[in-house]
Amino acid sequence: MVRVESGKASRADLPDFLKGLAPESLLDLSWTDPALGVRGSAWWPEENGDGELGADKKWGAEVLTLDTERKVVLVTRKQVAMTAAEKAARDSVAAAEWADRIAARRWLAETSGTTFDGMPIDTGRDSQGLITGAALAAMLDPAYSVRWKTVAGFVDLTAQQIIGVASAVRTFVQASFDREAVLLGAVADGSITAEMLEEGWPMHPE
């Protein structure tokens, strides 16, 4: 509610003794006791008239305009140009928010799993570490073999197969980070969109 007095609107708290009255009772207070000091005032409902905020603009001073026919106060705010410092601060916050969103999406892609020779392979961080260790053992000993637990069960892998699994996982994981780097570049040049966040990631085979 906005106070209206002498044809002008202003921000003023509604007196406690008027609280609880129906809004229509506040449109004209000529019925009140003069001793209360509000007979020449009224409190009208407000209606927001702000449009869309323009590029590199911020909200400025509030403007209160009376609509006497409807007994409503139209509330608008001026749009003023942001300073260079304000634009830099805004862009910095936006870039940080995008970076967080992109990193979270990369994590989903990176850990979603891949396949090697039809075998489903877990690409979670723990699994990546285990695969790296097994690959190192396989490179040190060409006769090395291991019974590897995949998401579909245990399989026997030769040293060559272990190295193949490690290579496939490394390629898959790196593709996730490569896509993250591309998206961060789009943030830097201002071309990032919400749609891009779901595009270009290495896909988990169905």
pLDDT per residue over 113-160, tens digit each?
A: 999 998 999 999 999 999 999 999 999 999 999 999 988 899 999 999
The residue type found at 98 is W
Number of Cβ atoms within 10 Å of the Cβ of 143? 7
End-of-domain residue from the set 30, 50, 81: 81
Count CA atoms closer than 13 A to 87's CA, side-chain side.
Answer: 9
Looking at 81, 114, 136, the residue that finishes a domain is 81
Indicate the average pLDDT of the chain: 93
Over range 185-198, report the average pLDDT.
93
Residues 77 and 95 reside in one and the same domain = no
What residues contact 32, with CB distance under 8 A and at least 6 apart? 38, 39
- 12 plus 77 within the same structural domain: yes
72-125 tens-digit pLDDT: 999 999 999 999 998 888 889 999 999 999 999 999 999 999 999 989 999 999
As a whole number, mean pLDDT of residues 48-59 equals: 89
Instruction: Provide the residue range defining the domain that includes 103.
Output: 84-198
Indicate whether 97 and 53 sit together in one domain.
no
Boundary of a domain, candidates 52, 81, 110: 81
Nearest residue to 87 (alpha-carbon basis) of 46, 57, 131:
57
pTM of the full predicted structure? 0.64
Q: Specify the pLDDT at position 91.
A: 86
Q: Is 63 helix (H, G, I), strand (E, B) or coil?
A: strand
What pLDDT does 183 receive? 97
Our count of domains for the chain comes to 2
